[in-house]
Amino acid sequence: MSLAITKVGMPKWGLSMKVGQILEWLVDEGATVDSGTEIVEVETEKIAGAIEAPAAGVLRRRVAGSGESIPVGGLVAVIADEATSDGDIDAFVAEFQANFVPPEEGEEAGPSTEKVEIGGISLRYLRLGEGEPALVLLHGFGGDLNNWLFNSPALSEHRTVYALDLPGHGGSTKIDGGFKDLVDAVAGFLDELGVERAHLAGHSMGGAVALQYALDNPDRVASLVLIDSAALGDEINADYINGFLSAAKRRELKDVLKLLFANPDLVTRQMVDEVLKYKRLDGVKEALEALASDLFPEGRQMVVLASRLGEVQAPVLVIWGAADRILPLAHAQGLPENVRVEVLDGQGHSPHMEAANEVNRLIGKFLDEEGV
């Protein structure tokens, strides 16, 4: 059998993922693909994403059909060179299917979340990979570490990645705090885990937290990545903040969450149900209202740090979805010369979820080129 046969498998996006459903093939059988080419769209219980070709070659076999559910690790397609015979492809598929054992229901595959106590509060986090400096991922308002489910595995190939639930969010303690409490929590988290110097990547509100930490602790930040970040201007879509706070029914919340994406179909029933479940936890309402009152009173951003970006000593990358309906694209324009800006056409407020493969490439390339 030819050695130039590469499996395209169903990836594991997030701790709870067991299967993925084939939505749409993006590449025909017989087409030549490069490593990194998006070949098929898959829907998980949380959101849809694209599987990339793991190697260059020819897409010789689409094993799974549209609408079919494939378990994590299962065979989706086969890439090989043109010289590989159809018989070798058939034998590869048959051997894989005969020996593949899907994850059992309830089986714990991969790392689990952990918790650490900081100044009387508990912070939940997920750790992946090895290598320094570590990369710390900070989510936005009302989010949690699962917002990085498409990014954490890819970004942890060459370094340790921590995805953190900020206070008031996810599995962390629900406190009635403000912006400073979030920054202090990140500082305490890094101190407690003994992380002396780290890359920071923040989305939306998490970007504001990362930027403030970088300004306060210049010697401890290796690089800064801001994704559709808050604190780069005072405008914000108040309808999103107010709608997120007030929505108590599935339909109301779904309409609000659609503002996060250029493609509203990415808002699944599972996503809406999980956010509703979170909002109904004790202390969440008070925590979010206190945070919104501190950060976004009267529909404007109180924390604006754009003029201080030039003070950041570490390399800075700003990534922005051109179709962002929550924070305007103008906030990514006219920034200091030390800031690299990448605008993604056709993407909304959450490009790290909507265009995860591209965002992962941009961050990886940025870290490699800057040598940090």
Write out pLDDT tens, residues 112-142.
Answer: 899 999 989 999 999 999 999 999 999 999 9
Mean pLDDT, the chain, as a whole number?
92
**CA gap 279, 98 in Å, rounded:** 44
| Whole-angstrom Cα Rg for the chain | 21
Q: What is the pLDDT of residue 109?
A: 53
Evaluate the omega torsion of the peptide bond into residue 133 and state whether it is cis, within 30 degrees of 0. yes
Entry pTM = 0.83
Lowest mean pLDDT among 104-108, 114-118, 218-222, 339-343: 104-108
pLDDT band at 105; cut points 50, 70, 90 = low
Write out pLDDT tens, residues 295-320.
Answer: 999 899 999 999 999 999 999 999 99
DSSP assignment, residue 158? Answer: S
Q: In this model, does residue 196 exceed pLDDT 60?
A: yes
Strands of the 48-52 sheet, one edge to the other: 48-52, 38-43, 19-25, 69-71
Q: In this model, does residue 261 exceed pLDDT 70?
A: yes
Domains and their CATH numbers in the chain: 5-99 (2.40.50.100), 114-370 (3.40.50.1820)
Q: What is the pLDDT of residue 54?
A: 87
Task: State percent of the chain over pLDDT 90.
Answer: 73
Write out pLDDT tens, residues 331-349.
Answer: 999 999 889 999 999 999 9
Lowest mean pLDDT among 42-46, 217-221, 272-276: 42-46
Q: What is the pLDDT of residue 10?
A: 87
* Mean pLDDT value of segment 37-66: 86
Q: What is the pLDDT of residue 20?
A: 87
Helix runs in the chain, H state only = 86-99, 152-155, 179-192, 205-216, 238-246, 250-257, 269-279, 284-295, 351-354, 356-370
Q: In this model, does residue 1 exceed pLDDT 50?
A: no
* Mean pLDDT value of segment 137-148: 96
Which range scores top for mean pLDDT: 2-6, 48-52, 261-265?
261-265
Q: In this model, does residue 106 exceed pLDDT 90?
A: no
Q: What is the pLDDT of residue 4?
A: 83
**CA gap 226, 274 in Å, rounded:** 26
* Mean pLDDT value of segment 237-261: 95
**Contact present, 227 and 319 (Cβ < 8 Å):** yes
Q: What is the pLDDT of residue 2?
A: 43
Pick the more confident residue, 20 or 305. Answer: 305
**CA gap 181, 179 in Å, rounded:** 5
Q: What is the pLDDT of residue 131?
A: 93
